[in-house]
Amino acid sequence: MRAICTLLASTAVLSATAATPLSYIPVSYIKTHLPDREVQCLAKNIYFEARNQDEYGKFGVAQVTLNRVDSPRFPDSICKVVFQPSKLPQKRHLCQFSWYCDGIPDRIHNKTQYQESKRIAILAILHRDRDITGGATHYHASYVRPWWAKKLERTVKLGDHIFYRERR
């Protein structure tokens, strides 16, 4: 389960050796080139979308968020992507990521899982070139069948999520 982080840690710019398990490095010591607010937006998205997933599932959610930032079809910052409302007028109560507009207060109740989400967020930002989703910009839980899935190309299943990208 820690394989992905071990792989990423081997090339991370950290104040520890590659032999040090990444889970032992406090998140506060790992720095990115982005403002803390952007890291927090990504960590919240991972927490609320995938906190019950393994590291691969969490990293997949992070990658989709970052792939959207890199796409001209979506906003150009992590926070703008995470909090982007639905583009469909009849679906104004929905957002791109369901947790933001589901009517449930967005409180972080499990600090350990949030720290894990923040660690994954930082790793995803530092290693944007290691996309395990195959360029996915969309995903959904495996127990639902959204209308938009048939218009996209399926790339991978990670945990309980199925990932998609634009057809090439």
Please check whether residue 160 lies inside any domain of the structure. no
Please check whether residue 29 lies inside any domain of the structure. no
Contacts of 126 (CB under 8 A, 6+ apart): 8, 12, 13, 30, 32
pLDDT tens by residue, 40-64:
999 999 999 898 899 999 999 999 9
Q: What is the pTM of this model?
A: 0.77
Range of the domain at 68: 38-132
Please check whether residue 110 lies inside any domain of the structure. yes
Please check whether residue 18 lies inside any domain of the structure. no
Please check whether residue 19 lies inside any domain of the structure. no
Closest CA to 127 of 59, 74, 71, 45: 59
CATH code of the domain in which 111 resides: 1.10.10.2520
Number of structural domains (the chain) is 1
